[in-house]
Amino acid sequence: MIILVTGSNGFIGKNLIVRLQQRDDVQILGYDINNTLDELNAWLDEADFVYHLAGVNRPRNEEEFFTGNAGLTSTICERLAQREDPPPILLSSSIQTELDNSYGRSKRLAEEVVARYGEQTGAQAIIYRLTNVFGKWSRPNYNTVVATFCYNIVHDLPITISNPDHELELIHIDDVVRAFLSEIRDQRSEVGGRRSEVKFREVGPSYRVTLGRLAELIRSFRESRKSLIVPDLSDPVVHKLYGMYLTYLDEDDFGYDLEQRCDHRGCLAEFVKSEPFGQIFVSRTKPGITRGNHFHHTKTEKFLVLEGEAIIRFRHTGDQRLMLGAAEVPEGITPSHATSGVGGGSGREQSEVGVEVIEYRVSGEDFMVLDIPPGYTHSIENVGEGVLVTLFWASEVFDPERMDTVWEEVSL
């Protein structure tokens, strides 16, 4: 199937072509401003489906709205109508057709041209009225205010907001492309005198956000490298907007350093955090060093050794033998005793006061995760010859005013 995409180097065209290239049943022809009219005519004679995305929205003068939108559309439809098998055409239009401005009028005229083409030839005529499309490869100061905000905030440039309460309706480029791809049909065998109904489409879902909120979100993305706070990705517009924001980073600015806190034991760095999720941090621990020896009342953690050998120890802080004192251990209570396991195994050891200590020996080769329940004092000891690298997750963001960390030795 041969597919022609006009406006192939534009924002929507680039995203559409990348998705089309993932298919093995299509041949793609891309027309843009650098191509000739002869090339366009030749490709219009071959195409089985036409995506007409080319248009003008930032002209040097008002007349270019009509030559670049309605005029080009007329040229395309007139050429297609001369074929014995006129192919389907999909027009990328705008909700501004409902407004009385030059751009809106020129897009409305283009819609009328496509509608007549469908009515006169029987070919499918599909018109998408798009609102503010955002996503990767959108040009700042050209396509949308979203792209301009992202670019300027990434590069520490000022942005202008005349009315922070002004609300935008946004649709994401991936949803646009998904809708466009759903229209592909090989309809050559269906044309034969059939009258076509012009189809007007909209893309969903759409998202409403004020200019003030938009700027606030994008600034928070920039700040996240310092605060380490991950955006609320459960909100679909935040999820998609954050991905778009990252595409405006300069290629030599993809990486950034974490703040490390180092002492005689090694180094530790926080990685990412959020209130609903908690936080992730990573540590390097020197041989023979033990970290931890504390417990939490509510907070939970997960330990994952990435490199090296470690023993992770637990002791229940509510054991009655400790609360009553070693001499007051009730008769008949004798904890089990076992040798520590190796390579992900677990075991138990008896403390001097008869309270059991649970041990897990873990290796970076195993990718074994240890859950740290509340009420268990715990520690991690580097028992290998090299540096121990451990990834930690905590269910709460660290708050020095409310640490929920009680220092208590595991081994007594």
Q: Is 51 a catalytic residue?
A: no
> SS3 for the chain, per residue?
CEEEEECCCCHHHHHHHHHHCCCCCCEEEEECCCCCHHHHHHHHHHCCEEEECCCCCCCCCCHHHHHHHHHHHHHHHHHHHCCCCCCCEEEEEEHHHHCCCHHHHHHHHHHHHHHHHHHHHCCCEEEEEECEEECCCCCCCCCCHHHHHHHHHHCCCCCCCCCCCCEEEEEEHHHHHHHHHCCCCCCHHHCCCCCCCCEEECCCCCEEEEHHHHHHHHHHHHHHHHHCECCCCCCHHHHHHHHHHHCCCCHHHCCCCCCEEEECCEEEEEEEEECCCEEEEEEEECCCCEEEEEECCCCCEEEEEEECEEEEEEEECCCHHHHHCHHHCCCCCCCCCCCCCCCCCEEEEECCCCCEEEEEEEECCCCCEEEECCCEEEEEEECCCCCEEEEEEECCCCCCCCCCCEECCCCC
Which of 31, 103, 245, 360 does the annotation list as catalytic? 103
Catalytic residues: 103
